[in-house]
Amino acid sequence: MRIVAGERRGMRLDAPAGQGTRPTSDRLRESLFSILGDVSGLRVLDPFAGSGALGLEALSRGAARADFCETAAPALRALRANVERLGYGDRAVVRRQDARRRLAADARAGTGYELIMLDPPYRMLTALQEDFSLHLPHLLVPGGIAVIESPTAQQPLELPLRLDTTRVQGGSRLTVYLHD
C-alpha cells in the first residue's frame, strides 16, 4: 500500500499482519478521492482506522487534521508507524479507543468534522447502522460528508443524511452521504 496522491505521494504504508484488518486498496482510495475532490483544510475522522490509509491519504491531499481511532494492537502499531513515517504527528491524533464509543463521545461533545470516512469490518455494518444514524448527524458540520465502505452485495445504509452517490470498485461499494 502507498499514498496515492498529494505531498506524500508514493510513500509506503505499513499494514498489520494477518486477516484482522482489511486495508482499503490504493485503487479504491483513488476512486474515493476522485469523488470527494479537494479536501484541503478539512477536519477528518477515520474511526475504523486500521493502518490509517484513508485519513493519511486525506492529510497528504491537504486535510488540516485527521483523528484516528483503532483498538487492534497490530493495526494500532502500523497506524502509529505510518503517522510517524509520513511526518503527520502534528496534524494527526491517534487514539486506542472503540469506534462506537468515539462516535458517541464526539457527538456528545459537539465535535464537528467536515469528512468522516467509515470503513468498519463488513460483518459489523448492519449492527452499526443505529450508531451511524444516531451520531453522524451530530458529528458532521452542515455540508459535511460521510463515506461508508461496504461490500457490493450490501445495499447502502439508510441514514438521516442525504445519499449523494455510490460507486462500486471490485468487491467494495463506496456510499457518500451529505449533511444538509
Q: What is the per-residue pLDDT across 125-162, written as a single tens digit (0 to 9) for each?
A: 999 999 999 999 999 999 999 999 999 999 999 999 99
Q: What residue spans define the domains of the chain?
A: 26-142
Alpha-carbon Rg of the chain, whole angstroms? 15
pTM for the whole thing? 0.95
Is residue 127 within 8 Å of residue 56, measured between CB atoms? Answer: no
The CATH label, of 3.40.50.150, 3.40.50.2300, 3.40.190.10, 3.30.413.10, for the domain at 26-142 is 3.40.50.150
Give me the helices (H) in 37-98, please.
53-60, 73-86
Residue 140 CA to residue 9 CA, distance in Å, equals 28
Is residue 21 within 8 Å of residue 74, measured between CB atoms? Answer: yes
What is the per-residue pLDDT for 16? 84
Q: How confident is the model at residue 24 (pLDDT cuts 50, 70, 90)?
A: confident
Residue count of the chain, please give it.
180
Q: What is the per-residue pLDDT across 58-68, written as a single tens digit (0 to 9) for each?
A: 999 999 999 99
Q: How confident is the model at residue 18 (pLDDT cuts 50, 70, 90)?
A: low
Query: 64 — phi, psi (to 5°)?
Result: -75, -40
Among 64, 21, 27, 24, smallest CA distance to 45 is for 64
Residue 11 CA to residue 25 CA, distance in Å, equals 14
Residue 26 scores a pLDDT above 90: no
Q: Which residue's C-alpha cell is 476522485? A: 34
Q: Which residue's C-alpha cell is 496522491? A: 5
